[in-house]
Amino acid sequence: MSARDLAGEAIRWAWERATLLGAIRAGDHRARRFAAFGDQSVICFPVVALFGEGSIRMGTGSVIGPYASLSAGIDPDQALERDDVVSIGDHTVIGKGSGIVAHERVEIGDHVWTGPHVYVTDANHGYEDLSEPIGRQFAPSRPVRICDGAWLGTGALVLPGAVVGRHVVVGAGAVVTGAIPDYSVAVGNPARVVRRYREGEGWGPP
C-alpha cells in the first residue's frame, strides 16, 4: 500500500470516528442544553449552525441529518421566553443539509420525513426602511406547523405562516406559503394541491 493510500485510509478512519463521536445524542453534554432531547434521537455530525438549544425540544427516536442548521432566536445571546420555539416530534427525520430557523414558533410533528436541503422558517426580512440594509430588517414572525406523517421532498421551502397538514406530500422544490390541507399532495411555487384523499372516494383531483 502506497503512502498516499495509507494517508487516505487514515483520513477516512478519522472522519468516520469524528462522525460517530461528534453526533449529539440523548445524554450528551450538548444534548443537556436542550429543553428536551428524547431517547434514541440524534443530530448528526457535522452541524453547520446550532444555537438557542434551551428553546428547542426534540422527541424520541428523531434524526437530523449532517450539515444541518437548527436555531431558535435571532442570535445565540438572545433570551427567549419559551422552551418550545422549535418543537420536533417523535420518529421524525430531517434530511441532510436542511435548515430549521425559528424566531417565534416552528412545530414539526411525529413521523415527519424530509429529503435533503429542506428549509423551514417562521421568519423573514423586511425591506420598507430604505435607510437600513434589508439584512438588518425583520418582518413579524408567523408560526409554522408541519403536522404528523408529512413528507417534504428535496429542496422544499416552508415559509412564515405555513401549515402543512397531516399525511401531506410536499413535492421537491415546492414553496409552501399558506395552508395545505390534510391528506393531499402539493407541488410548485407557490405550492398548490394537485391530489387529495376523500373518505369513500380515495385519492383524486383536488
* Residue-wise pLDDT tens digits, 18-67: 899 999 999 999 999 999 999 999 999 999 999 999 999 999 999 999 99
Question: Considering the domain boundaries, does residue 12 fall inside one?
Answer: no
In which region does residue 11 sit, left (phi positive, over 0), alpha (psi from -120 to 50) or beta (all else)?
alpha
- Show the DSSP H helices in the chain as ranges: 3-22
pLDDT in tens, 98-155: 999 999 999 999 999 999 999 999 999 989 999 999 988 988 999 999 999 999 999 9
Asked whether the bond before 160 is cis by omega within 30 degrees of 0, the reply is no
Question: Considering the domain boundaries, does residue 116 fall inside one?
Answer: yes
CA distance 148 to 1: 51
Question: Considering the domain boundaries, does residue 181 fall inside one?
Answer: yes
Bridge partners, residue 99, by sequence: 69, 119
CA distance 27 to 14: 24
Q: 186: domain CATH number?
A: 2.160.10.10
Q: Is the pLDDT of residue 5 over 80?
A: no
The conformation of residue 55, written as its DSSP 8-state character, comes to G
Bridge partners, residue 56, by sequence: 86
Give 195-204 contacts, CB < 8 A, sequence gap 24+. 197/167
Identify the pLDDT of residue 102.
Answer: 96
Identify the pLDDT of residue 4.
Answer: 81
Identify the pLDDT of residue 194.
Answer: 97
Question: Considering the domain boundaries, does residue 115 fall inside one?
Answer: yes
Question: Considering the domain boundaries, does residue 89 fall inside one?
Answer: yes
Q: What is the pTM of this model?
A: 0.92
Identify the pLDDT of residue 169.
Answer: 98
Question: Considering the domain boundaries, does residue 1 fall inside one?
Answer: no
C-alpha cell at 2: 502506497
DSSP string, 76-95: TTPPPS-S-SEEE-TT-EE-
C-alpha cell at 154: 428535496
Q: Are 23 and 40 in contact (CB under 8 A)?
A: no
State the total domains in the chain: 1
pLDDT in tens, 161-196: 999 999 999 999 999 999 999 999 999 999 999 999
List the domain range (segments joined by +) for residue 55.
Answer: 23-204
Identify the pLDDT of residue 77.
Answer: 79
Report which secondary-structure segment, H or E, holds 106.
strand 106-108
CA distance 68 to 144: 19
10 band by pLDDT with thresholds 50, 70 and 90 = confident
Torsion of CA 101, 64, 83, 26, to 10 degrees: -160
Question: Considering the domain boundaries, does residue 35 fall inside one?
Answer: yes
Amino acid identity for residue 164 in this structure: V
Identify the pLDDT of residue 42.
Answer: 98
87 band by pLDDT with thresholds 50, 70 and 90 = very high
Identify the pLDDT of residue 2.
Answer: 85
